[in-house]
Chain A
Amino acid sequence: MNIELTQIIPELIIASAICLLILINSLIPSKKRYSGLIIGSLTMLSCAFVSFLFLLDPTNSFIFNDHYRIDHLAMGLKFVTYLGSLMIFIGTTTNKDNAKSELILLELFAILGVSILASANNMLTLYLGLETLTLSMYGLVASKRSSEIATESAMKFFILGAIASAIFLYGVSYIYGLYGTLFFGEFNDVTINNSIEMQLALAFIICGIAFKFGAVPFHSWVPDSYQGASTSSALFISTIPKIGAFALIYRLLFEAFIANVEFWSLLLLLLGLLSLIIGNLIAIAQDNLRRLLGYSAIGNIGFILIAFSIGTTEGVIASLVGLIIYFFNTAVAFMSLEVISSENRAVVSLSDIKDLNSSHPWISLIILFAMFSMVGIPPLIGFYAKWIVLSELINADMLIIALIGIIISVIAAFYYLRVVWYMYFEKNELPIMQGSSNILQKISLSIIGLMIVILGLYPSPIIDFCRFIISPFLLID
């Protein structure tokens, strides 16, 4: 038992931090402002450290009667989650938001959900993680209580999310009916290949996953909730849950139902292409920066799903590389929005960043990096996300998909360029705005902004890391 508990130290830390935070919030209201940030950051720091130690000495063990699995992938994804959350906590903390402590609390719950997802080895454990994640996301979107848009988008998100969870669960019930078990490891023992019930079950499950990713046609909540949520929540829900969703498709599709690879890869390809095309095309028409980033996220997810749909280990690695790089770009974009916003003037639309270069040359440069990175211009990391996916597509003889992918990225370049041209080319008559950010935010933004360039010049760490956490399963092929 003790050995089993040591395996889930990160989860235990998070759970105790949650309890502590609830206590602090209810008992010592005056300390509210910083307690969340400090506890959250320390928790993430220690979790990241612990999961890093696990990664150094990897095991592949099943605990809690096979319900829970600790392996490279689980620890790797957890490590990314914790590190990313740490970055988000530090980078987007604003003093003005007095509900901050609750936000961190909700975010910690979501992180716990992602951790469970990453380690799940049973459909029920998986669902437990999924709902822990999703329920806290509803709260995050709704957290700006005074805002009408926030309430509306939270409502939309909740209704759609509930339906998606129900569909997912329905698919799971089919699986149970077909196999008589919920353990992932046992699905491969029985061969129920491509019967109509099996396909139906997989289709339901994929619908649920697509909702979590925000892939077309399950994407309508994405731009709304990005717009409605506060910046830090928007950044959080645009990144961390995607890691959970990746764990979901990896565990379910690539490990448990690899026998049905032909069927699910087709579905994922379809979802990926739709997201890629529709997300990027709609983004062109957006003037609101948050919505623009929302649609851009849909387009990026499209690329990630297409990579996954190749159905080989290399494709999965490319998909994970794409996800991590997406994480960096999104983080920089949202964090810079937060840095240049001020108490009385939030940066909402493109016209708010007119001539930003004159007042904030350094922040503009960082946004410029992020935008060109998303366009896919080397040597910024965004390029490697596109390149590695294209490489695997061409390697798998899917040249047509690769061509569609690049043509869409050229079209998508337009709206990223628009952000740059508003910052650099437009002249602004309004007085120069002053951001109300603190130094901590600026530093963390600068660090991540520089990472876009540095990792772009030397991308091997990201690629090798993704290979490392997925490679033990090379044997499955």
Chain B
Amino acid sequence: MIIDQLIWIPILTGLFVLAIGEKRSNISYLLSLFISSALFFLSVYMYFIFDNSLSSFQFELKVPWIERFNINYHLGIDGISLPLIMLTAFLSPIVIYTAKTSPKNKMHQYIASFLILEGMMIGVFSSLDAFLFYVFWEAMLIPMFLIIGVWGGKNRIYATVKFFLYTFLGSVFMLIAIIYLYTKTGSYSITDFYTNSLSLNQQILIFLAFLFAFAVKIPMWPVHTWLPDAHVEAPTGGSVILAAILLKMGGYGFLRFSLPITPDASLTMAPIMIALSLIAIIYIGLVALAQTDMKKLIAYSSISHMGFVTLGCFVFFLQSSSLDLDTINLAISGAMIQMISHGLISAALFLSIGVMYDRLHTRNIDDYGGIVTVMPKFSVLMVFFALSNAALPGTSGFVGELTVILASFKVNIYIALLSALTLIIGAAYTLWMIKRVIFGAVINEKINSQEDMKLIEAIPLSLIALFILLLGVWPKLLTDTMNATILVLSNMVSG
């Protein structure tokens, strides 16, 4: 089974790397790089054999696990999970690759954490049993806790404990909701949850419990405060995975759980969700403008961009008449594209900041300036990523935001106008950062002695840039896989 391999091969490799120890770090590095790259190609292969026209789950695997409680080891993917799995499989080798460019102590443990994390993340995106989903979802906290705590910056312990407790608090409420759904349906299967008949009050309680978990993960204002801390303190690889994939799990959760299981509650709660999304988009965007630390700026920018995901998931509920299927499709596709695109862009930005940090050991914007004079090649890529972060047409960032804004236009012009403000705010904070970091006069003398990016650093950045462009000019690659699934989802939401 192909998904099974995607989950367990990295985990087993990670355990193997742990077992052979610190002395053989080089072997483990090459082995992990090879395995994780091979897994990416496996996921590409899966993309090609995936049947776009089917709306049902594919590559399904169902084995009884805890029979007494009707829990199955049930995996399968559809159009929503496939792109996210590919994103995970694409970024994991890159993160492992960069472990070498900034040397770490206990590198084998660092690599092993990422490998194990990769398996678990793919597990989250492919679980069709809510119990299994929860197991992967929570298990991820362990490697992430260690990654931030062991290899993080000065204030890492505070950041990682805060990250852990925040997400743990959110997800235990989800556990309660899952158990509650089990008592109602007699099964932990997610698809069985879809066909429940809950009263509106029950739905709202379940919706809120799920919301707790997903809102913390995405994160939505006002439960976002763990993210800037975690991002700033995490090592580059940790920030990349955190921003690019862990945040997407919140959005995935909304699409997989909240919308289809509790459509009535989603309808009732939609105004609140939209308000929170708009606050995230505008207010957090303004907060980003005020940041002096590059990582923190990108962290706030992530929250702001994820606001588009939540907006896309809920905006269509506000239609005055009956729910129009096309609008729902458009909004949800927008949310999905935004997730993938943000995954690539934020990963690239954090990697770029990592490249600069490895040279100057500071993330403070004021310490930079005039990077372009000594690192021209690097600057090209950095500026490109910044522009895609500001949703420049032709990059994937533009497609996602535009789709969501379009869907909002169909619903309510004010929401559309407010959300479109991001085009200004986003451009402002990103480009202003670029102006201060890349361009201008060289103030910090250390910069003059730096060398330009080496080839080994350029490879991952260029790869990501390629994909950002590809999705920007040819989003059909992505939307074709999702369309059938999103159509089913829209029907569930509107019906």
Question: Which residues of A line the B interface, CB within 8 A?
Answer: 357-358, 361, 365, 368, 372, 375, 377-379, 383, 387, 390-391, 394-395, 399, 402-403, 406-407, 409-410, 413-414, 417, 420-421, 424-425, 458-460, 463-464, 467
Chain A residues with CB below 8 A from B182, complex form: 391
Cβ-defined contact, B179 with A378, below 8 A: no
Report whether B165 and A414 are in contact in the complex, using a CB–CB cutoff of 8 Å.
yes
Assuming the A-B contacts A372-B142, A394-B180, A413-B164, are A424 and B175 also in contact, with contact meaning beta carbons closer than 8 angstroms in the complex?
A: no
Instruction: Please provide the chain B residues from 56 to 113 with a CB less than 8 Å away from any CB of chain A in the complex.
Output: 65-69, 106, 109
CB-CB under 8 A from A407, the residues of chain B are: 169, 172
Partner among B21, B109, B161, B165 whose Cβ is within 8 Å of the Cβ of A421:
B161
Quote the shortest CB–CB distance from A59 to chain B (angstroms). Answer: 25
A138 to B22, CA, bound (A): 46
> Number of A-B pairs whose CB atoms are under 8 Å?
88
* Interfacial chain A residues near B175, Cβ < 8 Å: 387, 390, 406
User: Given A391-B182, A460-B66, A379 and B164 touching (CB < 8 A)?
Assistant: no
Any chain A CB within 8 A of the CB of B173?
Answer: yes
CB neighbours (8 Å) of B106 from chain A are: 357-358
Known contacts A377-B138, A387-B179; is-contact A410 B68 (Cβ 8 Å): no
Bitwise interface map of B from 104 to 139 toward A, beta carbon under 8 Å scored 1, else 0: 001001000000000000000000000000110011
CA distance A395 to B141 in the complex (A): 28
Q: Look across to chain A and name the residue whose beta carbon is closest to the beta carbon of B135.
A: A378
Cβ–Cβ < 8 Å partners of A467 in chain B: 68
Q: How far is the CA of A298 from the CA of B145 in the complex (A)?
A: 26
- B200 on the interface (CB 8 Å rule)? no
Contacts A/B (CB < 8 Å), 10 sampled: A378-B139, A390-B175, A391-B69, A403-B176, A413-B165, A413-B168, A414-B161, A420-B149, A424-B149, A460-B68
Is B156 among interface residues, defined by CB-CB distance under 8 A? yes
Chain B residue at minimal CB-CB distance from A393: B179
Question: What residue in chain B is nearest A410 (Cβ atoms)?
Answer: B169
Top 3 closest A-B pairs, CB basis? A378-B135, A406-B172, A425-B149
The contact of B179 among A394, A424, A464, by CB within 8 Å, is: A394
- B322 CB within 8 Å of chain A: no
B124 CB, nearest partner CB in chain A, Å: 12
Contacting residues, chain A, for B156 (C-beta < 8 A): 425
| Bound complex: CA A391 to CA B139 (Å) | 20
Q: Give the chain B neighbours of A358 by CB distance below 8 A.
A: 106
B150, CB-defined interface residue at 8 Å = yes
Interface residues of B (CB under 8 A from A): 18, 21-22, 65-69, 106, 109, 134-135, 138-139, 141-142, 145-146, 149-150, 156-157, 160-161, 164-165, 168-169, 172-173, 175-176, 179-180, 182-183
Q: Which residues of A contact B183 (CB under 8 A)?
A: 391, 394-395
Cα A463 to Cα B491 with chains together (Å): 40
Please indicate the chain B residues that have their CB under 8 angstroms from the CB of A377 in the complex. Answer: 138-139, 141-142, 168
Q: Which B residues touch A394, using CB under 8 A?
A: 176, 179-180, 183
- Tell me the minimal C-beta distance from B343 to chain A in angstroms: 25
Query: With A and B bound together, what is the CA distance between A376 and B427 in angstroms?
Result: 43
Residues of B with C-beta under 8 A to A421 = 149, 157, 160-161
Residues on B with beta carbons closer than 8 Å to the beta carbon of A379: 135, 139
Give every chain B residue within 8 A of A390 (Cβ-Cβ). Answer: 175-176, 179
**B179 neighbours in A (Cβ, 8 Å):** 387, 390-391, 394
CA distance A390 to B176 in the complex (A): 8
Closest-CB distance, A385 to chain B (whole angstroms)? 13
A365, A368, A402, A463: the one contacting B66 at CB < 8 Å is A463
Measured CA separation A378–B130 after assembly (Å): 13
- Find chain B residues with CB under 8 A from A361 CB: 18, 21-22, 109
The distance from the CB of A442 to the nearest CB of chain B, in whole angstroms, is: 15
| Contact among A395, A410, A424 with B172 in the assembled complex (CB-CB below 8 Å) | A410
Contact B176 A402 (CB under 8 A): yes
- Minimum CB distance partner of A358 in chain B: B106
**Chain B residue nearest in CB terms to A372:** B142
Cα A361 to Cα B161 in complex, Å, equals 21
Which of A365, A399, A406, A407 has most chain B Cβ within 10 Å?
A406
**A459-B172 contact in complex given A387-B179, A420-B145, C-beta closer than 8 Å:** no
Quick check: A417 and B145 within 8 Å, CB to CB? yes
Shortest Cβ distance from residue A185 to the other chain B in the assembled complex, whole angstroms? 30
Chain A residue at minimum C-beta to C-beta distance from B22: A361
Interface pair A417/B164, CB less than 8 Å apart? yes
Q: A361-B21, A377-B142, A390-B179 are in contact. List 15 more A-B contacts (CB 8 A).
A: A378-B134, A378-B135, A379-B135, A379-B139, A383-B135, A394-B180, A395-B183, A406-B176, A413-B164, A420-B145, A421-B160, A424-B149, A460-B65, A463-B66, A463-B68
Q: Are B176 and A417 in contact (CB under 8 A)?
A: no
Smallest Cβ distance from A361 to chain B, in angstroms?
8
Q: Are A424 and B146 in contact (CB under 8 A)?
A: yes
What is the CA–CA distance of A377 and B141 in the complex, to the nearest angstrom?
Answer: 8
Closest B residue to A464 by CB, please name it. Answer: B68
Q: In the complex, how many angstroms separate the beta carbon of B403 from the nearest chain A beta carbon?
A: 36
